[in-house]
Structure 1
Amino acid sequence: MEGLENRSGIGVGVCFPEKCLLEMFLELLCSLLWCRSPLLNPFQLREAKREKERRRLHQPEIGYSQAPKPEMKRGRIGKLDTLLSFTRQRSTQIFIVLGLFYILFVFLEIPFVFRTAQEQPSRLPPLVRPPNGVVSGLTLNDAAFDSSLYQSACRVGRAIWAELKSGKAQGPVSKPDNQSRPCPGSISVSGPVFFSRGRSMVIPCGLTLGSHLTVVGEPLKPQRRKCQFMMELQGLTTVEGEEPPRVLHFNPRLKGDWSGKPVIELNTCYRMHWGTAMRCDGWKSRAGEDTVDGLVKCEKWIRGDDDDDGDTDRHAVESNAEWWLKRLIGRTKRVPIDWPFPFSVNKLFVLTLSAGLEGYHVHVDGRHVTSFPYRTGFALEDATGLILSGDISVRSVFAASLPSVHPNISSQQQLEFSTRWRAPSLPHFGVELFVGILSAGNHFAERMAVRKSWMQHSLIKSSKVVARFFVALNPRKEINVELKKEAEYFGDIVIVPYMDNYDLVVLKTVAICEYGVRTVSAEYIMKGDDDTFIKVDDVITRVRNVPYSMSFYIGNINYRHRPMRHGKWAVTYEEWPEEEYPPYANGPGYILSSDIASYILSEFEKHKLRLFKMEDVSMGMWVEQFNRTKPVYYFHSLRFCQFGCVEGYITAHYQSPRQMICLWEKWQMQTIPECCNMR
C-alpha cells in the first residue's frame, strides 16, 4: 500500500485531478483482480505463497491410507470452507469494482462528456439569427435566378428596402393620405364620362354603413345569343399579377343560362377564388331561410312557366273544392301581386345598391329584388371601384353617403399596438414546430386577427412553437413604411426583400424553409396563410405520431392533377411541360420534416431549385425530387380544409378576421373544433 500511496502522492502534483484519480483507480483495480484478499498487492501475494510452501516442506507427509477418517472428513470440510470464503471474497471484490466504476462515471466521465461536446460540432445545424431581425436571411441576387421577372423583382425590392432603412421613405408619407386625396361625400358621373374611364368609377375611400350607389341605364339588344350585364364592386389589387378582388358580383341574365329562364346570380371572388353563387330564379325565398337585415334574399317575379307541356307556376289557380273549404272556415282569399323580371331589353331602369348592417340590398325601380349577405374576407371600405360591363348602356352613376374619413391604408385603425400581442423572444435552442405564414403588405387586419387568435396558444407563447409572417414589399411606399413599423414593434414579421408578385409567392415558401432550418432549427416546418386558422395542438399531435427518423409530407394532398392549358388559369407547356402535377398538398396548410426543408434550401443556394409560379405545386415537385434520395411518406387528411371550414378541422381556410376571433373563442370553450359561419 505504500507504493500505491507514493505513486498517488507524486501524481497529484504533476497531473490533472481526473488523471490522478484514474491512475489510483487502475492500481487499486489491479490489486483487487490479482489478489485473493482486497488488502494484498502482487508483492505480498508472492510472499504469502512462499511462506505456505516452506510450511508444507517442514511437515511430515501422511499417507492417505494411514490418515484417520475423522481428520480426512475435517480436511474436506476445511476445503469447502476455504472455497466458500474465496467465493465471498470474490463477490466482495466484484461489488467493490462496480462501486468504483460508478464513482468513476460520476466524478470522471461527466467532465469528459462536457469537454468533448464543446470540441465536436453538433449534428443539428447552428442557429443563425438575422443581424437586423426583420429581413429574411435568404440570398436573393441575380445569380440565383435565370428569369428576368425574378431578377427585376429582387432588384427593385433591394432598392426599396435600402431606402426604408435609410429613413428616406418617411418624408413623402408624413402627411395623412386623406389630405392629398380627399374622401368626397358623394360622386356623380355621366354616361359618356363613365365609358371614357373604361366603364369604371373610382370610389376613393370605399363604402360605409348606409352608403348607396345608383345606376341609371338600359339593357341593350345582345350581340350574341345570351343577353346579360355585370355590375361589380372591386377592391384594390393586393399584389402585382393578381386580379382585384370582387367584393360583389351582380349578374342579371335576361335570357337565362342553362334553365332558359331569367336569373340573377350574385357571388364574390376572394383572392382569385370564386365562392358559391347565390341564384335568384323567380322563386321567393322560403320562410325558414335566413334573411338579410329582415329582407329575403330573393323576391318573386313572373317566370312564365306555363308552356305547352302543361307546367304551371308554383302558385297555380286553386280548385273549386279548395275555394269552398277556405270560404267555409272563414279564410279570405289573398290576391297575389306578381312582378315581371326587373330588366328588359331597351327599357330604362334605376338600380340602387345599398350597404346594410348584414349585407347588400338591390332595389330596381323602387322595388326590392335581392339581398346578398356579406362574405368572408371583405370589409365595406374594400369596395373602392364600380365596374359595369356587358350588354348595357349607362346613362349616369351616382354614389352618396360615402365615408368622410379615409379607411387608412396605413395600419392605425387595424393594428393594436399593445405589448400583449408582441411575439415572445426566440429560444436559444431548437424548437419542435415552426409555422411560416404567407401574408401581403397591406393585410394589417388579417395579421392582427391571427395575433389575437391562434397565436395566443400556450405552445407559441412559451416559444415551444414559433410562428412568423412572411411578407414581400408593396408597390405603395406608405404601406412599406407602416409594414416596417409593424415588424419592428411586434417582432413576428420576416420581410422578404422583393417586389410582391402573385407569380413569385414561391420565394416566400423558400424563405420559410430557410428560417425554419437555420434561425429556429425546427424539427417540423409548417406553411399557412394569414386567412388560415391553425389548431396548433392538433398539428403537434399529428407530427408526434410519425416516427422520428421518417421523412414526411402532411396535408390535403392532390393526386394526378392536370394543369389547365386554356382559360384564365392556363399554364403553358413552357411553364410546365408534363401532363400531370406531382402529388402536392393544398397551399393553405401543410407540414414538412426538417430534412426536406434543408434539401430545398440547399438546392436553392446551389441554383438548382426549379421555381414554379404555383407555390403548392412547387413544394410537391421538390418533395418528389427529395423522394428519389430518401423515402418520403405522404399523409393525406381532409381536415386540412382547402375551402372554408369543416367540423373537426385542423386548418380552416378563407376565414375573415372576425371569424378568426370567433374560432379562437370556440376553441377555448370546447374540445371539438367548431366552425363560425357568420358573414
Structure 2
Amino acid sequence: MGDKKIWKNNNGSVTSDVNKRENKECPQSLVIRGDVFETKGKVMVLPCGLTLGSHITVVGKPRVAHAETDPKISLLKKGQYLMVSQFMMELQGLRIVDGEDPPRILHFNPRVKGDWSGKPVIEQNSCYRMQWGTAQRCDGRKSRADEETVDGLVKCEKWIRDDENGSDESKITWWLNRLIGRTPKRMDVDWAFPFAEGKLFVLTLRASLEGYHVNVDGRHVTSFPYRLGFTLEDATGLSLNGDIDVHSVFAASLPTSHPSFAPERNLDWSNRWRAPPILDGPIELFIGILSAGNHFAERMAVRKSWMQNRLIKSSKTVARFFVALVGELINGTYDTNSTSLNSFVEGF
C-alpha cells in the first residue's frame, strides 16, 4: 500500500507538470545582439531545441592573440608563453540531466593561433555524460575521397596551409597551360583559413539529415556527423566563449513545438518503442538494466537500437529497466511495460 500511495501522490504532480510543458512557447526564430548576449552569460537559449533544417547564424570577430602561460591547446615549458587566439561555439543540452555540466552536443573550436601543431585548425567534438568523444580535427587538408561524408559533404574542406606553396607562380603556370589548351577551364581556388584576428566573419550552422554543417562567409568549411545519445531537440542552448567579440546571433526554422511535450507526438507513449509483453511460455534470457530516473536519453537509445532485435521482439529474450522511484524525477513518461519503478532505491 505504501508504494501505491507514493506513486499516486507523484502521479498527481506529473499531470500539472506536463501541462506546463505543453504550454511552453516555442518561437520559430530568435535574434540577439552581442551586448545582450554578454549579459545572458554568453548563451542563447533555444526553448524547444532544433529540428531538421534549423540554422543559426553568428556574426563575430576573433580577437587579437594574447599571451598565455598555460594554454589548454598546447604544451609549454615552465616560464614560456604562447600567443593564443581561439574561441568555442557549442550546442549544449541545457536541461538534459540535473546535477551535471550541460552536455556538449557539438563543440566547434577554431584555433586561429596557439594550437600544438603550430597551424590554424578547427577541432570538433562532443561531450556526453562528461566524457569527451574522439576529436575531429580539420587542419587545412581536405578529407580523403574514401572517407565517409555527411549529407554528401566532406567533413573537412581544404585551405592554404603554411607548408604549402600557394604562390602566384602556380597561378601563372595555370594560365600559361590554359592558353595552350593543356588544362581544364576551371581553376580550383585556394582559400585561406576561414577565421583571422580582427576580421569580421559570418558563420552559419545548419542541422541536416546526417549531421551539422558549418559555412563561413558563404563557403562550406566543416561537417560533423550526429553522435549517439542526442536528438536535435536536445540542443537547447548555443554558447560562444573564448577570444571572440559577438556582434549578433540569429536562429531560424526552429521547431514550433517540442516533440517530447506535444501530446500528439509524444514518443514516450509511442507503441513503437514499448517493450513487447511477456508471454505465458518460458523465456531463454532475461536482461536487467539499471538506470537512474533522469537517464531518459540512454533508455531511448537502448529502445531504438538492440531492443528492436527480433529475439527481443519475439519475447524469447526479455529486457527490462530497473529505475529508482525518486519523486522529483518522475515526469509521467515511463513505459510501465518495460520499466520497474522501485521506491526503496535512492538512485543508481
Q: Please tell me the residue identity of whatever aligns with 2:17.
A: V
Could you tell me how far 1:263 is from its partner in structure 2?
0.2
8 Å CA contact retained: 2:14, 2:331 = no
1:212 aligns with 2:55: yes
Match for 1:266 among 124, 140, 153? 124
Shift of 1:370: 1.2
Equivalent of 2:36, from 168, 193, 202?
Answer: 193
Q: Are 2:123 and 2:137, in contact at CA under 8 Å, matched by a contact in 1?
A: yes
The secondary structure found in structure 2 opposite 1:172 is helix
CA distance in 2, matches of 1:314, 1:434: 67
Is the aligned partner of 1:494 residue 2:337?
A: no
Q: 1:278 to 1:316 in 2, by over 3 A?
A: farther
Whole-Å separation in 1 of the counterparts to 2:169 and 2:146: 22
Distance of 1:189 and 1:499 partners within structure 2: 45
Q: Are residues 227 and 424 of structure 1, via their aligned partners in 2, closer, same or farther at CA, if it must alter by over 3 Å?
A: same
More strand by share: 2
Structure 1 Cα separation of the partners of residues 171 and 40 of structure 2: 54
The Cα shift of 1:213 comes to 0.6
Distance change >3 Å, CA 420–CA 188, structure 1 → 2: closer
- In structure 2, the gaps of 5 or more residues are 69-81
Percentage of matched positions with identical amino acids: 50
Query: For 1:286 and 1:419, how far apart are their aligned partners in 2?
Result: 38
Check whether the contact 1:471–1:496 (CA below 8 A) recurs between aligned residues: yes
For residue 304 of structure 1, report the CA deviation from its aligned partner.
2.4
CA distance in 2, matches of 1:238, 1:426: 38
The residue type paired with residue 275 of structure 2 is: W
Normalised by the length of structure 2, the TM-score is: 0.79
Map residues 280-679 of structure 1 onto 2, 5 A cutoff: 280-305=138-163, 312=165, 317=170, 330-332=182-184, 334-409=186-261, 412-417=266-271, 421-424=275-278, 434-439=286-291, 440-441=293-294, 442-443=296-297, 445-446=300-301, 448-449=303-304, 452-454=307-309, 456-457=310-311, 461-462=315-316, 466-473=318-325, 479-483=330-334, 486-487=335-336, 490=337, 492-497=338-343, 507-508=347-348
Q: What is the CA-CA distance between 1:408 and the residue it aligns to?
A: 1.6
TM-score (normalizing by structure 1): 0.43
Q: Hey, what's the Cα distance between the residues in 1 that align with 2:62 and 2:176?
A: 45
2:122 touches 2:137 (CA, 8 Å); kept in 1?
Answer: yes
Residues matched between the structures, number: 328
SS of the aligned residue for 1:259 comes to coil
Q: How far 1:167 sits from its partner (Å)?
A: 4.3
> Tell me, what secondary structure is at the counterpart of 1:375?
coil
- Separation in 2, partners of 1:438, 1:314: 61
Pair 1:276–1:186, CA change in 2 (3 A): same
- The residue number in structure 1 matching 2:25 is 182
Whichever of the two has the greater Rg, that structure is: 1
Q: Distance in 2 between matches of 1:237 and 1:470?
A: 23
Q: Distance in 2 between matches of 1:415 and 1:366?
A: 42
Residue aligned with 1:228, SS: strand
One-letter identity of the residue aligned with 1:437: I
Structure 1 residues 498, 267: closer, same or farther in 2, change over 3 A? farther
Supply the distance in 1 between the matched residues of 2:10 and 2:90 (Cα, whole angstroms). Answer: 41
More helix by share: 1
Deviations 1:478-506 (A, max 9, x none): x53222xx22xx1x212244897xxxxxx
Counterpart amino acid of residue 423 in structure 1: P
2:122 partner amino acid: I
Query: 1:249, CA displacement in angstroms?
Result: 0.7
* In 2: Cα distance, 1:263 partner to 1:340 partner: 12
Q: Distance in 2 between matches of 1:209 and 1:288?
A: 27
SS in 2 for 1:265: strand
Q: Secondary structure of the equivalent of 1:403? A: coil
C-alpha spacing 1:475/1:453, structure 2 compared with 1 (3 Å): same
* Structure 1, unpaired ranges of 5+: 1-130, 136-160, 307-311, 501-506, 509-679
Return closer, same or farther for 1:498/1:205 CA change in 2, 3 Å cut-off.
farther
Q: For 1:199, give the aligned amino acid.
A: K
Classify 1:317/1:495 alpha carbon distance in 2 versus 1 (closer, same or farther; 3 Å): same
